[in-house]
Amino acid sequence: MNEKQLIAAARAAALKAYAPYSRFSVGCAIESVDGEVVTGANMENACYRLGVCAEISALTAAQAKFGLDKIVRIAVAGGDGLGAELAGDTVCTPCGGCRQSILEAAQLSGRDIEILCASGDGATVERHRIGALIPHGFGPTNLADAG
Ligand code: THU
C-alpha cells in the first residue's frame, strides 16, 4: 500500500469512530513489513476517561493479525467525521499515551516506525518517526536490568 492509500485507510476508519462526546473522529491504519493493513478508530465512553484512542484500537488489531514486531508504518487522521468523508485541516498527531504504545512496538523490532500524521481532509501530511515523537522514551529495552 502506498502512502496515499494508507492515509485513505486511516481517514475511512475514522468514519467508524464512536466519538459522541468530543465529536473528534480519529482513524489509524497500520501496515506490516509484509504489506498487511489493519485499522482502528477511537471509541469513547460516558465515563469519559475510559475512551480508547484510534491508535490503541489499531495496535490491538495489529497484534492479533500479524504481531506488534511486524509494524513498519502507521497513518493517523483526525477531524470531523459526521459527514460522508472525514473533514478538517488540522494535522492529527498521536497523543502521548499512544506514542508510548507505538514505542513498545518499535523497540520489539528495533525499527524506528514511520508515522504519517494527516489532517481530516487528508490534504496535509506530516511525516515523523517514533524516535522523534517520543525522544528518550521508556520501553521494553529499559527493563533490561529488572531482577
Ligand atoms: N484521540 C485519538 O484517538 N488518538 C489520538 O492520538 C489523539 C486523541 C481521540 C481521543 C478522543 O476520543 C478524541 O480523540 C478527542 O481527544
Domain annotation for the chain: domains and CATH numbers: 3-136 (3.40.140.10)
Q: Which long-range contacts (CB under 8 A, 24 or more apart) does 89-92 make?
A: 89/119, 89/120, 89/121, 89/123, 89/124, 90/119, 90/120, 91/117, 91/118, 91/119, 91/124, 91/125, 91/126, 92/26, 92/117, 92/118, 92/119, 92/120
Distance 147 CA to ligand 1 centre (A): 36
User: How far from the centroid of its chain's Cα atoms is residue 123's Cα?
Assistant: 18
What value does the mean pLDDT take over residues 114-140?
97
Protein residue with its CA nearest to atom 3 in ligand 1 = 53
What gap in Å lies between CA 122 and CA 10, rounded to an integer?
9
Q: Taking residues 80-93, what's their average pLDDT?
A: 98
Q: What is residue 134's predicted lDDT score, i.e. its pLDDT?
A: 98
Q: Cα dihedral angle (44, 133, 103, 79), rounded to 10 degrees?
A: 20
| Whole-number pLDDT of residue 72 | 98
CA geometry: angle 24, 66, 16, nearest 5 deg: 20
Is the beta carbon of 51 within 6 A of some atom in ligand 1? Answer: yes
pTM exceeding the 0.95 threshold for the entire prediction: yes
C-beta 74 within 6 A of ligand 1:
no
Mean pLDDT of the chain: 98
Q: Give the pLDDT of residue 61.
A: 98
* Whole-angstrom distance, CA of residue 30 vs CA of residue 17: 16
Ligand 1 nearest atom to the CA of residue 95, by list position: 6
What distance in angstroms lies between residue 146's CA and the mean position of ligand 1's atoms?
33
Strand partners, 99: none
